[in-house]
């Protein structure tokens, strides 16, 4: 036919039934998609062929994914949001406050999506005193004990941004967190020309600047001395920013709490909800100070929430 040779490509975003595909030379191509391929999203890698019109093409094959980010959609069905994510950045601001419950929800999501996490303590320019920092460090103790990476940053002052850039190197990352946590500000600190990039994308898709709610992949800028050749990408969208965990069974929720693991087998009942059952090893561990109460609390909130939802 009139299509060009088969070439590898990276999906930058999906819009309508089409994809914006980046070729290896960095050019963008507005592509139709062969129907049998199903829904493809930012982060997917594909095979595409150029069409006659300049900067258009057809996606003819998709590579297997190593990871899928999906969210609960209509009637609990999964909705694909992004593909091949390597890192979930949980943005927790010290103002209005670090909320362990929020962090724990995202940790459950990360477990469900098979994602390593990085906890970003943002707005540290607003740190008032040593006592302020100590109070926050205490809230973060469970995460430190879980061996999670915790990075204090400030999108405002730039503190920690270069360390963050290093941790994002070579990865596809997504930032999540409550509205106002500073996700946009952090992305802008990492990618200063993001507005220009967004304009270029809306030109390539023929869509207005703010009409797409789908995920978009942005390249982090390369810096010769930090990340030559593989700076990494940020995938962002209104849909990924406030991500809820999927309702799941009790044992899957327990599996998302690795700090519970040493005690779980010791409850009297195998289906123990760790609320009022006799001989509950989890409640005992909380009492003995071997489990943090905040972790127990967030677990119970999610358990109750999931019990009322279809899964
Ligand atoms: P998002 O909703 O998570 O994308 O949050 P934004 O990036 O829009 O930030 C929310 C507000 O917090 C804005 O007024 C930002 O200027 C402010 N903000 C973001 N990061 C910082 C920071 O590191 N320090 C301070 N002081 N303010 C910040
Ligand atoms: Zn129990």
| Residue 64: other Cβ atoms inside 10 A | 8
**159-to-122, 151, 215, 240 alpha-carbon distances in Å:** 10, 10, 27, 25
Residue 240: per-residue pLDDT = 79
Q: Does domain 74-241 have CATH number 1.10.3720.10?
A: no
pLDDT given at position 195 = 87
Per-block mean pLDDT, blocks of 10 residues, the chain (311 long): 92 94 95 95 98 95 95 77 97 97 97 96 96 97 98 98 96 96 97 89 74 87 76 90 87 98 96 97 98 98 90 59
Q: What is the CA radius of gyration of the chain?
A: 22
Please give the backbone phi and psi of residue 108, each rounded to the nearest 5 degrees, phi first: -65, -45
**Model pTM score:** 0.94
Q: Is 216 exposed, middle or buried (0-12, 13-18, 19+ CB in 10 A)?
A: buried
CATH tag for 250-307 (out of 1.20.120.10, 1.10.40.50, 3.40.50.300, 1.10.940.10): 1.10.40.50
146 CA → ligand 1 middle, Å: 27
Nearest CA, atom 11, ligand 1: 180
- Ligand 1 surroundings by CB, under 6 angstroms: 122-123, 125-126, 154-156, 177, 179-185
Instruction: Spell out the CATH class of 6-62.
Output: mainly beta
- What's the pLDDT score for residue 203? 83
Are the CB atoms for 8 and 47 separated by under 8 Å? yes
Longest dimension (CA), the chain: 72
Q: So where are the chain's domains?
A: 6-62, 74-241, 250-307
276 CA to middle of ligand 2, Å? 8
Query: Ligand 1, atom 15: nearest CA belongs to which residue?
Result: 182
Contact 247, 307 (CB under 8 A): no
Task: Output the pLDDT for position 1.
Answer: 63
Nearest ligand by distance to the CA of 124: 1
Q: In the prediction, which pLDDT does 311 show?
A: 59
Question: What was the ipTM of the complex prediction?
Answer: 0.99
Give me the pLDDT at residue 209, please.
59
Residue 308: predicted pLDDT:
85
Residue 282 CA, ligand 2 centroid: distance in Å = 5
| pLDDT value at residue 310 | 65
Q: What angle do CA 48, 21, 196 make, to 5 degrees?
A: 160
């Amino acid at each position: 036919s009139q299509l060009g040779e088969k070439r590898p490509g990276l999906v930058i975003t999906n819009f309508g039934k089409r994809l914006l595909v980046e070729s290896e030379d960095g050019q963008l191509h507005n592509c139709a998609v062969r129907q049998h391929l199903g829904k493809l999203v930012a982060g997917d890698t594909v095979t595409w062929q150029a069409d006659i019109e300049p900067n258009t093409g057809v996606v003819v094959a998709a590579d297997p994914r190593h990871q899928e980010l999906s969210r609960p959609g209509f009637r609990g069905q999964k909705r694909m949001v992004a593909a091949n994510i390597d890192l979930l950045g949980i943005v927790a601001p010290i103002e209005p406050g670090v909320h362990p419950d929020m962090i724990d929800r995202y940790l459950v999501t990360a477990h469900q999506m098979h994602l390593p996490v990085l906890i970003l303590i943002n707005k540290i320019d607003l740190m008032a005193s040593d006592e302020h920092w100590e109070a926050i460090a205490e809230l973060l103790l469970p995460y430190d004990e879980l061996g999670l990476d915790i990075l204090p940053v400030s999108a405002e002052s730039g503190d920690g941004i270069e360390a963050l850039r290093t941790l994002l190197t070579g990865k596809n990352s997504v930032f999540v967190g409550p509205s106002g946590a500073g996700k946009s500000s952090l992305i802008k600190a990492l990618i200063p020309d993001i507005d220009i990039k967004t304009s270029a994308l809306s030109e390539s898709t023929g869509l207005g600047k703010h009409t797409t709610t789908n995920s978009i992949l942005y390249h982090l800028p390369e810096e010769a001395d930090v990340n030559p050749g593989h700076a990494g990408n940020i995938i962002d969208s209104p849909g990924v920013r406030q991500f809820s965990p999927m309702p799941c069974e009790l044992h899957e929720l327990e599996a998302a709490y690795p700090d519970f693991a040493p005690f779980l087998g010791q409850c009297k009942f195998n289906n123990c909800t760790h609320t009022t059952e006799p001989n509950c090893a989890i409640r005992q561990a909380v009492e003995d100070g071997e489990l943090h109460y905040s972790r127990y609390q967030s677990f119970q909130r999610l358990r109750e929430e999931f019990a009322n939802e279809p899964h």
